[in-house]
Structure 1
Amino acid sequence: MIDTTSFWIVTILLGIGTFLIRFSFLGFFGGKELPGWLLLHLRYVAVAVFPALVTPLVLWPDATGGEIEPARLLGAIAAFAAGFRFGVVAAIVAGMGSLWLLQALL
């Protein structure tokens, strides 16, 4: 463990760093219209981040010791199908609902 002083120094520096990262985008470009090519690329950020967060939890879950579990795989397929058709909120609801249901049944 680190000592209390080091912890608070690191915490404050990280807080300042994340503020500056966000301010660099919002503070400088907040009142200006972004170019069309940048807006086009920003549309794909959520599409790239969401699967990157979910895939390791489906394919190598810590809860099963890294083994693929059919309930998780089927839940991910249900989430993908619902998200493809209805959007992000439906993907989350369908994925979690089917995962919980399949885990209760299996």
Structure 2
Amino acid sequence: MPGVNVTRGADGRFIESTVRTADAGPLDSSAAAGPRAILGRVWAAVRGIARWYSAINGGQDYQRYVDHLRRTHPGAPVPSVRDYWRERYAEAERNPTNRCC
């Protein structure tokens, strides 16, 4: 549902503008009922769930590590994705303090 945002202009007068909140649908109600809009929202939800799942399982960890290596150790060789995960799991086995179970 749209809200109203009230701000002061440069001349001191109040200015009202319509603001869409995060849970608001499209401002055009006829577009909200169309199958394309519904499918778009479903795909957006699926992408959001996939990003969440990837984040809790370390999906961005390799890229973050590569960025760190290039930034702080420019001459160091960058391991492959497979080597990175192999070393990470081996470290978890050697040092089991960072586990929930």
With the length of structure 2 as denominator, give the TM-score of the two structures.
0.31
Which is helix-richer, 1 or 2?
1
Which is strand-richer, 1 or 2?
2
Higher relative contact order (CA 8 A, sep 6+): 1
